[in-house]
Amino acid sequence: MSTIRNEIRFLLNGREVRTSDVGSSDTLLDHLRIDQRLTGTKEGCAEGDCGACTVLVGRRSGEGLVYETVNACIRLLASVDCCHVVTVEHLAGPGGELHPVQQAMVDNHGSQCGFCTPGIVMSLYSLWMGNPAPTAHDVEVALQGNLCRCTGYQPIIDAALAVSKKGAAGNDILVKQRNAILDQLKSLDDGARVEVSRDGETSILPSSVADLVDVLGDNPDATIVAGSTDVGLWITKFMRNISPAVFIAHLKELKQIDVTADGVTFGAGVTYTEFEDVVAAEFPHMAEFWPRIGGWQIRNMGTIGGNIANGSPIGDTPPALIALGATVTMGSKSGRRTVPLEEFFIAYGKQDREPGDFVEAIHIPRPGNDDINAVYKITKRRDEDISSVCGAFCITVAEGTVSQARIAYGGMAATPKRASKVEAALVGKLWTEETVVKAMAQFEKDFTPLTDWRASADYRAISARNLLRRFYLEHTGEPVRLARSTAA
């Protein structure tokens, strides 16, 4: 058993915070606004969808230090242990001179009511640090998680494109102080397990995966918290008590990504953002789909492991991973076990995960050379929306004939589910429109979708089968994708 520390420590703007007064449902936003009186960061929705609460969290990654935008409203306070939290108050210079990002927003009339503005400034700041000369598309991606109701966004985009003319990143406080901050964060990190409690609410940050196994052995009913993009809402929206909460996103072992000839194996703590390069290199068919998962802040926080572990029928990654034949490995006191991902989802809200189990790793086999792959996500709003229907396809065509088909859908059943009748109608048949039309008729045997606020059952049924047609047409060269080319 490792040593235990009973306080969390982090850097907040230019100073160090140490506190043991931390409940498991304390959000970073409430801590900033109520305890620290840093009211520049706003609450707009308390569910990670509007971005008014956007702050940066800097954390050690490898030998370096990365700053990422997060939604402070659903980021839990305990999880910023050994991190650097940066709020809008930290940007202006000591004499009040505006940061280039702020100045560009002012000069381009990027604020009207101003309430979303601090969050937008933080997203643009983060973009500017990593990409000082972005395209309009880059800016749109950076702002997926920031709602503005007044401006219609054009002046904000203009501001983002103009920042590089306002000043170089070299003068920025976080750039200039990076080494010093890194040293400070290293000195905060004593390698201990962290346990903090208030009013009977406990948060535990294990020191390693081995320690996690012990912690879960002792607390089999604990709430495992990775990115808190879902668990955060259990607190802010449903006021659930998640104690004892066991945090895992900081565990380096769960951040491992191994790319081999067999495929890709990665830890449950890998965020969507951390996986983006792997998607581009290994699974290019998901390159357009990937940045449509949540907004930027959510992708910086959320983990693929968490998306799987929570078993939502409308989670973005399960259909895509099922089509690729992914497996999931669970760790626990009694050892590891690996199951095909599609078997992990048993029923609505029920996964093949016993108390004390935790999702440890995911493996995606490398697609074959003859495979045709696609993932299509249909939403009411293109960006930062939850799927009405998500269809993922992996078909092997040999000499014009479908030799293998794996098709999985989200939003069509109580769990992410394969379209086995549709698959059967394709396998062994010529890869032709006629085959596709026949297979489309099988969807109604695979799925009986529901009507809800995202889509009607009819729409789900029609668009689900049309996605197979899109998949076919796309591979015959027919233009089936909407293109967007921005003027700027």
Partner 1 sequence: MTAQANIKGGVHTDERHDSAHKHVTGRAEYIDDMMEPVGTLHAYLGLAEQAHGEIAKLDLTDVAAAKGVVGVLTAEDIPGVNDISPTGQNDDPVFAEKTVEFHGQPIFAVVAETRDAARRAAALAKVEYKAKRHVIDVDDALDVDYPHVTEPLKLERGDVESAMAGAPHRIKASQRVGGQDHFYLEGHIAFAFPGEDDEVTVYSSTQHPSEVQHMVSHVLGTRSNDVTVNVRRMGGAFGGKESQPSLFASVAALAAKKWGRAVKLRPDRDDDMVATGKRHDFLNTYEVGFDDEGRILAVDGTFAARCGFSADLSGPVTDRALFHADNAYYYPHVRFNSRPMKTNTVSNTAFRGFGGPQGLITAERIMEEIAYHLGKDPLEVRKANFYGDEGRDVTPYHQTVEDNILNQLVGELEESSDYAARRKAVLEHNASSPVIKKGLALTPVKFGISFTATWFNQAGALLHVYNDGSIHLNHGGTEMGQGLFTKVAQVVADCFQVDLEKIKITGTTTGKVPNTSATAASSGSDLNGMAAANAADQIKNRLVDFAAEKYSVPEDQIVFEPNIVRIGNVRKSFDEFIKEAYMARVHLSAAGFYKTPEIHWDRDAGTGRPFYYFAYGAAVSEVSVDTLTGEYHVDRVDILHDVGRSLNPVLDKGQIEGGFIQGMGWLTTEELWWDDEGRLRTHAPSTYKIPVASDRPAIFNVDLATWSKNREATIRRSKAVGEPPFMLAVSVLEALSMAVASVADYKICPRLDAPATPECVLMAVERLRGGA
Alpha-carbon gap, residue 67 to 178, rounded angstroms? 10
Subset of 137-166 contacting partner 1 (CB under 8 A) = 139-141, 143-144, 146-157
User: How near is the Cβ of 53 to partner 1 at its closest, in Å?
Assistant: 11
Alpha-carbon gap, residue 54 to 117, rounded angstroms? 10
Alpha-carbon gap, residue 150 to 364, rounded angstroms? 43
52 binds partner 1 (CB under 8 A): yes
CB 348 within 8 A of CB 450: no
Please select the residue that binds partner 1; options are 178, 337, 470, 475, rule is CB under 8 A. Answer: 470
Sign of CA dihedral 47, 301, 289, 482: positive
187 binds partner 1 (CB under 8 A): no
102 binds partner 1 (CB under 8 A): yes
314 binds partner 1 (CB under 8 A): no
Site size with partner 1, rule: CB under 8 A: 92
355 binds partner 1 (CB under 8 A): no
105 binds partner 1 (CB under 8 A): yes
Subset of 61-90 contacting partner 1 (CB under 8 A) = 87-89
56 binds partner 1 (CB under 8 A): no
Beta-sheet pairing, 201-205 with 193-198: antiparallel
Please select the residue that binds partner 1; options are 6, 20, 39, 256, rule is CB under 8 A. Answer: 39
Please select the residue that binds partner 1; options are 14, 21, 35, 106, rule is CB under 8 A. Answer: 106
CB 361 within 8 A of CB 378: no
- In the structure encoding, which two tokens stand for residue 154, read together? 């054009």
User: How near is the Cβ of 209 to partner 1 at its closest, in Å?
Assistant: 32
467 binds partner 1 (CB under 8 A): yes
40 binds partner 1 (CB under 8 A): yes
Stretch of 234-242, 334-342, 397-405, 427-435 lying at the interface with partner 1 (CB under 8 A): 234-242
User: How near is the Cβ of 3 to partner 1 at its closest, in Å?
Assistant: 32
CB 285 within 8 A of CB 375: yes
CB nearer to partner 1: pick between 6 and 348: 348
CB nearer to partner 1: pick between 140 and 172: 140
Alpha-carbon gap, residue 304 to 324, rounded angstroms? 15
User: How near is the Cβ of 285 to partner 1 at its closest, in Å?
Assistant: 18
Per-residue interface string for the shown chain with partner 1, residues 107-136, x marking contact by CB under 8 A: x-xxxxxxxxxx--x---------------
- In the structure encoding, which two tokens stand for residue 377, read together? 């996500």
CB nearer to partner 1: pick between 97 and 399: 97
288 binds partner 1 (CB under 8 A): no
CB 311 within 8 A of CB 349: yes
91 binds partner 1 (CB under 8 A): yes
390 binds partner 1 (CB under 8 A): no
Alpha-carbon gap, residue 282 to 335, rounded angstroms? 30
- In the structure encoding, which two tokens stand for residue 314, read together? 């409308």
45 binds partner 1 (CB under 8 A): yes
Peptide bond into 206 cis (omega under 30): no
For 123-183, the DSSP string reads HHHHHHHH-SS--HHHHHHHTTT---SSS-SHHHHHHHHHGGGT--GGG-HHHHTHHHHHH
